[in-house]
A and B are shown apart, each in its own frame.
Chain A
Amino acid sequence: MTYSTKFSRLIPAFILIVIFALLPKVARPYTMISLGSIFMYVVLTVSWALFSAPTHYISLASAAFFGLGIYAAAILGQKLPLPLFIFFGGFISFLLALLVGLSSLRLRGMYFTIFTFGLSELIRNFVQWWEVNETGTVGRWVIQVNPKMVYYAMLSIVLLTLGAAYFINRSKFGLAIRGIGESEEAADHIGINVNASKIIIFAVGTFFMGAAGATMATRWTYIDPSIAFNPLYSFMPVLMAIFGGMNQIFGQVLGATVLTLLADMLLTKFPYYYMLLYGIVLIIVILFLPGGLVGLKDKIMLWFKRKRQGYETT
């Protein structure tokens, strides 16, 4: 790989970063809000896929980590500045993830998946119980933060997440993770510490989920356990990754972006039919592009190729 190739690879990324950074100056105010939601789902999807895509262990615990971040913001938001409580949101999630990872080591496949779901629901019910009995309250207020700051915070988290995913992917660690995904036994034989690797990459992903939660909480201003630990935040990243193309970062980002935009558009244009239309889109895409939206590019290129070659070859 030559020096120039390395650089030219990153140029599109730099251009995009600059565009997003300058956006608040030119775009309509609601765009920042809309992008905030997109960033949130991109973070959730990519950080979920960090662990679940290569290892094929589908985790349904994302809501627990996202929700913890939200609570970090609610509890610490008055006392700490924004970057700090966002960091804490991520850090607490990271710690919980280590515990979750350790406890679920024996489980495989769908058993692992439903175990993580059960864990997420346990945490939600526990926080609800705690709030009801120990704190005497159910909802909490979160401090309000300047929308521009929220935007930049989410943008930073997105960049960190994508950066982490990109570099882990290309590192030896990433190789080891993919090896584990192919065959845990073989990876173990080669000398990879399978358990430690799984737990670490799982926890790294959840850091970003927690940070995203802490940031978004400031937008919503009032939260309670059902809002914070909504199982939707566990299901949607899975849907979005499959929809966009689970095995590439670009697919994950695409899935999150397209589905969020689609939901937004349908919600406002077709308030009474949006679920129907959304469901139809999901089914049509998966019927014609079983590998996800990333397959669309290939299909289009194939179509162009056929056109160029003319109809003689058909």
Chain B
Amino acid sequence: MNDKVKYSRLTACIALLVFLVGIPMASFAQTKDKIRFGTAIALSGPYAPGAKMTQTTVYDMWVSDVNAKGGIYLKSIDKRLPVELITYDDKSDVGTSVKLVEKLILEDKVDMVLAPWGTAANVAVGSIVNKYEYPFVLISCSSEKLREMIHTMPYCVAILNQPRDQGHDLVELLKEFGIKKVAIIYVADLHGIEFAGYTAPQLGIDGIEVSILKSYPLGVKDLSPILKQIKAAKVDALIGFSYPPDTWLITEQAKVLQLNPKVVYLSVGVAHPPYKYKFGAQTIEGVMGPGAWSLKTPYPGVRDFAERYTKRYNSEPDWWGGIITYSALQVYQQAIEKVGSLDHKKIANVFQTETFPTMMGPVKFVDGFNIQFPGNIGQWQKGNFEVIMPKDKRTAAPEFPKPPWPK
């Protein structure tokens, strides 16, 4: 290796280094003229469909809504500042989410971080922002395991209804219908395990027979073997703790097999408009799923939100997460306004102590988790996703038994 080559390589390395370290970022000392929110969320990759429907679209809508009113008012400087949202693509990869969030915090110097999509990403990002002492609302995070860890994350709160809330209501609903025999199938992943892990034993305790309890792998392409078994077992209720692709698969294959139990409850994906668009309102009539809110949810702004969302995005909103995401943003705004500044410690404290009047109702975090929801279970009735549990939040009487699948 001669000298020329050696030194050209060295120069190349050093040039690379200077580029990395040097160029002090263009951080002109600016007067604060806007409030910067940042998020690293799945714009591509397998999580992107869910992320767009539940969060990204709602984030963008909220930013326009807030800025249409001039922004968020900060008492400390007696000014209303507009909101800016920086969105990065985390490629549905948690490692990338974490890195990009650190970039948002350390380089882009955002004032607040908004949640990514998916339980794993929410939890990982939550740990990181907690380390940097940023107040943070976990949104699309459904995991009982989090209860063990959240006390180590004092800056974080979780707004979504959890397996315990929805599982409990599901069991109550089945008891109300007098169901005696159920089949439970679940995807062999966090969501499936947690829900099945809560529901199956609870049903047993309440005297309901779980005659079939089977898991299936992610990405499954054919569930007819299990479904045929379930049909032969003549159960009263089919419960599937599933992800959207499997929710679709189970629906289609149950319809083909004319598997008609009195109750069909599937999981993620039921409350999502694409489900209705693919199968049509008549086919999905009576199918139940986690959620939930509807146009009749009695809190200010709900109907308006749904109509504006539909007009802007040419699709109905997510009937589980739609207003939950918006409410999370309302929590951020209300906390900022209450504190009067962007002081992270004070805002985090407000998260833990105050009650927030939002679109999903009064949000209150106890031990880090929200305790009040517009609904836990919904059911498609004549093309509308009605809230049917908890009882006191019902927007329509549950349709029981579910009409048979159209032939």
Which residues of A come within 8 Å of B, CB atoms?
Answer: 8-9, 12, 15-16, 19, 23, 26-31, 33-35, 37, 125, 128-129, 132, 136-139, 141, 144, 216, 219-224, 227, 230, 232, 250, 254, 257, 261, 267-268, 271-272, 274-275, 297
Q: Knowing A27-B21, A34-B20, A138-B190 touch, does A230 contact B93 (C-beta < 8 A)?
A: yes
**Closest chain B residue to A132, Cβ basis:** B188
B308 contacts A by Cβ under 8 Å: no
Q: For residues 65 through 95 of chain B, which have their beta carbon under 8 Å from a beta carbon of chain A?
A: 87-89, 91, 93-95
Are B10 and A12 neighbours in the complex by a CB distance under 8 Å?
yes
CA–CA, A232 and B46, complex, Å:
14
Stretch at the interface among B100-108, B154-162, B237-245: B100-108
B34 contacts A by Cβ under 8 Å: no
CA–CA, A128 and B192, complex, Å:
13
B200 contacts A by Cβ under 8 Å: no
Size class of the contact patch on chain B: 35 or more
B-side contacts of A271, CB under 8 Å: 43, 87-89
Which of the residues B6, B89, B120, B193 comes within 8 Å of A12, measured between beta carbons?
Answer: B6
Are B145 and A139 neighbours in the complex by a CB distance under 8 Å?
yes
Q: For residues 5 through 21 of chain B, which have their beta carbon under 8 Å from a beta carbon of chain A?
A: 5-10, 12-14, 16-17, 20-21
Closest beta carbon of chain B to A209's beta carbon, Å: 15
CA–CA, A267 and B88, complex, Å:
7
Are B124 and A222 neighbours in the complex by a CB distance under 8 Å?
yes
A-side contacts of B16, CB under 8 Å: 257, 261
B215 contacts A by Cβ under 8 Å: yes
CA–CA, A3 and B87, complex, Å:
55
Are A222 and B123 neighbours in the complex by a CB distance under 8 Å?
yes
Are A16 and B13 neighbours in the complex by a CB distance under 8 Å?
yes
**Closest chain B residue to A141, Cβ basis:** B149
CA–CA, A254 and B376, complex, Å:
52
CA–CA, A232 and B193, complex, Å:
26
B-side contacts of A139, CB under 8 Å: 119-120, 123, 143, 145, 190
A-B contact count (CB 8 A): 114
Are A227 and B95 neighbours in the complex by a CB distance under 8 Å?
yes
Closest beta carbon of chain B to A107's beta carbon, Å: 26
B-side contacts of A26, CB under 8 Å: 21
CA–CA, A15 and B6, complex, Å:
13
Pairs across A and B, CB under 8 Å, 30 listed = A9-B1, A9-B6, A12-B7, A12-B10, A12-B13, A27-B20, A29-B106, A31-B20, A31-B21, A33-B103, A34-B20, A125-B217, A128-B188, A129-B188, A132-B188, A136-B197, A139-B190, A216-B95, A219-B95, A220-B94, A220-B98, A221-B128, A222-B94, A227-B93, A254-B12, A257-B16, A267-B88, A271-B88, A275-B44, A297-B8
Extra inter-chain contacts (12) besides given A8-B6, A30-B102, A33-B102, CB under 8 Å:
A16-B13, A30-B107, A34-B20, A129-B188, A132-B215, A219-B98, A220-B94, A222-B123, A224-B120, A227-B120, A268-B100, A272-B43
CA–CA, A250 and B10, complex, Å:
11
A-side contacts of B217, CB under 8 Å: 125
Are B9 and A12 neighbours in the complex by a CB distance under 8 Å?
yes
B-side contacts of A27, CB under 8 Å: 20-21
CA–CA, A65 and B127, complex, Å:
25
B-side contacts of A220, CB under 8 Å: 94-95, 98, 124
CA–CA, A311 and B17, complex, Å:
36
CA–CA, A268 and B104, complex, Å:
10
Closest beta carbon of chain B to A221's beta carbon, Å: 4
A-side contacts of B94, CB under 8 Å: 220, 222-223, 227
Q: Knowing A132-B193, A139-B190 touch, does A221 contact B120 (C-beta < 8 A)?
A: no
Closest beta carbon of chain A to B193's beta carbon, Å: 6
Are A221 and B98 neighbours in the complex by a CB distance under 8 Å?
yes
Q: Knowing A9-B1, A27-B20, A224-B120 touch, does A267 contact B8 (C-beta < 8 A)?
A: no
Which of B95, B103, B123, B217 has most chain A Cβ within 10 Å?
A: B95
Closest beta carbon of chain B to A65's beta carbon, Å: 16
Sorted nearest first, the 6 A-B pairs with minimum C-beta distance are A222-B124, A30-B106, A138-B190, A221-B127, A12-B10, A27-B21
B-side contacts of A222, CB under 8 Å: 94, 120, 123-124, 127
B-side contacts of A31, CB under 8 Å: 20-21
Closest beta carbon of chain A to B331's beta carbon, Å: 23
CA–CA, A124 and B327, complex, Å:
37
Are A28 and B9 neighbours in the complex by a CB distance under 8 Å?
no
A-side contacts of B26, CB under 8 Å: none
Q: For residues 32 through 52 of chain B, which have their beta carbon under 8 Å from a beta carbon of chain A?
A: 43-44
Are A267 and B100 neighbours in the complex by a CB distance under 8 Å?
yes
**Closest chain B residue to A37, Cβ basis:** B99
A-side contacts of B232, CB under 8 Å: none
Are A35 and B20 neighbours in the complex by a CB distance under 8 Å?
yes
Which of the residues B96, B102, B124 comes within 8 Å of A267, measured between beta carbons?
Answer: B96
Closest beta carbon of chain A to B3's beta carbon, Å: 8
B-side contacts of A257, CB under 8 Å: 16
CA–CA, A271 and B91, complex, Å:
10
Are A28 and B188 neighbours in the complex by a CB distance under 8 Å?
no
B189 contacts A by Cβ under 8 Å: yes
Which of the residues B10, B88, B98 comes within 8 Å of A268, measured between beta carbons?
Answer: B88
A-side contacts of B100, CB under 8 Å: 267-268
Which of the residues A138, A219, A250 comes within 8 Å of B193, measured between beta carbons?
Answer: A138
B220 contacts A by Cβ under 8 Å: no
Are B89 and A267 neighbours in the complex by a CB distance under 8 Å?
yes
B29 contacts A by Cβ under 8 Å: no
CA–CA, A223 and B193, complex, Å:
16
